[in-house]
Amino acid sequence: MSSGVCAACRRSIDESARLCPYCGANPATGERIDTQAILQEIFRPKELTTSESVLEYARQRQGVVIGISVAVIFLVLMLVHQFVTVRNASEVSDAPAVPLTEIADVAKLSAESTQVPLPPLEFQYEGRPESMRTFIAEPGAVAPAPAQTTTAPQPQPQPPTR
């Protein structure tokens, strides 16, 4: 960076600078220039409408806007729930009542849905569950094969010794 001197304030500045960063004058002539007018001409501030300014505010503060939006939605849902709950507790329908026989008429049930009675159980229980006959009431079920019973000698109880 080559060093130059401002003619207005006598400070050392870059030789290629068109304006002095310290005083804002032309470094070669020392003449002061209105920098605000130049900046306004180059960088024109955009005039925002009300809706655009609200959107710009929301973009800058997204976290706050999202938090407030969630809180408002929650409050609206609470109010709707409260309204419906209070209304349901106090309002009565003007519609005529529906009899239960129209909803479920048990007189018109088909024979397939009625339960089949169990066959009469005639068996002798001899104290051994293996000797009992098994009855199957389900259609299509197959009876298990009869179990082979072998009688093993029963151990005799020993008399107590003293």
Average pLDDT score, the chain? 77
Model confidence at 136: pLDDT above 60: no
Buried b (16+ CB within 10 A) or exposed e, 47-57: eeeeeeeeeee
Report pLDDT digits (tens) over 113-135: 667 777 776 666 666 666 665 55
Alpha-carbon radius of gyration of the chain: 50
Q: Decide: helix, strand or coil at residue 14.
A: strand
Q: Tokens for 92?
A: 């009565």
The structural domains of the chain, with segments of one domain joined by +, span 3-42, 50-88
Name the one residue in this structure whose structure tokens are 């239960």: 100
Distances (CA, A) of 114 to 22, 30, 105, 120: 104, 113, 14, 18
Model confidence at 5: pLDDT above 80: yes
Q: Tokens for 89?
A: 């507790």
Model confidence at 7: pLDDT above 80: yes
Least Cα distance to 19 among 2, 41, 35 occurs for 35
CA-CA distance, 23 to 30, in Å (whole number)? 10
Predicted model pTM: 0.29
Report pLDDT digits (tens) over 57-113: 888 888 888 899 999 999 999 999 999 998 888 877 778 877 777 777 666 666 666
pLDDT at residue number 155 = 62
Q: What is the DSSP string of 26-37?
A: -TTT--B--HHH
